[in-house]
Amino acid sequence: MATWLKNRQRLGLRWVTGTGLAAVAVACASTVAAGLAADHGNDRPVVAPAADMRWASVEPQGVQQSPLWGNGQEPSQGTLQRLKAGMTAGPFRESGETIGVVIGGTVTLRTPAPYASAPLGPGSWFRIPPGSAYSVQAQTGREAVLGLIQVEPGDAGALTELTHTAAKPALPTAIPAKAVQVRTVEAGDLAMTGLWGNRQRTASCALVRQPAGKLALMRSYPADTHLIIVTGSAAVLLEGQKPSKPLGPGSYMAIPAGAPYLTRAAKDQNCLMLEYHPGPVDAPTR
């Protein structure tokens, strides 16, 4: 805690007035059916460790889901999904964009083309354009855990220059973890790759990597921030709170627009996070 505060003071940073975390902490379990961030209208942050997620069985049999934000009536929604080892879920066809990242286990992405991706382990991601049919197959021997973001038409934006694909690909795109490329951005040592959208004009989704042991500068954004930890672990510090315990893969954080926060990766491993903003954010404000 002291080190974090010294960094803040050294940089001349100050907190803005906001609502504390304690009131929601992990009472999130009671609101999980509508998404952990369902109370964002009250501008309250949410920090939910992976161990506190509540799972419900959904179709097809063998799939479990834990909602994070969105209720089906909003332009976007985020969920965690678990697939039983060896099962194939799908085919699915969505009206909007689907961004998926592998958090645990290994999956193969399949389409009727026919197309089958290389095995996708933790840190891999895929993008399904609107109207494309796809299936996800979990490798035998271990269940798979996915983080999924679905964005409806009308909230869709042009891909940034950071993405690995041309605008509006006709077929799903799958990028194995070893092929994911990131570049340093303005907030300290953070590096990112854009997956979908445009941070200057629309909603956006990106993978953000924080080096092991590094403290990212305090940052806040003009739109809400949704973070899912994919690999590694990190602690988060919010106004008036002690740093959270290390949050591992499958943990979730929701930061209201304008609320400042710090993240710190564990000493032994880089932390990879899936970041989603429902509106333009440009560069972080400090």
Can you give the pLDDT at residue 185? 66
Can you give the pLDDT at residue 242? 82
Please determine, looking at this structure, whether the domain spanning 2-277 carries the CATH number 2.60.120.10. Answer: yes
Burial class (CB in 10 A: 0-12, 13-18, 19+), 133: middle
Can you give the pLDDT at residue 248? 97
Can you give the pLDDT at residue 25? 25
How far apart are alpha carbons 57 and 69 in whole angstroms? Answer: 18
Q: For the chain, give percent helix, strand, coil, nearest 5.
A: 10, 40, 50
How far apart are alpha carbons 248 and 134 in whole angstroms? Answer: 28
pLDDT along the chain (286 residues), means of 10: 32 26 24 47 80 92 92 81 94 87 96 83 92 91 95 52 42 87 69 83 89 85 94 90 90 93 91 92 61
Question: Is beta strand 144-151 parallel, antiparallel or unpaired with respect to 191-197?
Answer: unpaired
Domains of the chain, by residue range, sit at 2-277
> Which has the closest alpha carbon to 196: 101, 98, 123?
98
Can you give the pLDDT at residue 15? 26
Whole-model pTM: value is 0.79
Can you give the pLDDT at residue 215? 84
One-letter amino acid for residue 267 of the chain:
K
One-letter amino acid for residue 12 of the chain:
G
Tell me the two tokens of residue 39: 């109370």
How far apart are alpha carbons 69 and 139 in whole angstroms? Answer: 28
How far apart are alpha carbons 49 and 255 in whole angstroms? Answer: 15
Q: Is the CB of residue 213 less than 8 Å from the CB of residue 219?
A: no
DSSP 284: P
Can you give the pLDDT at residue 30? 31
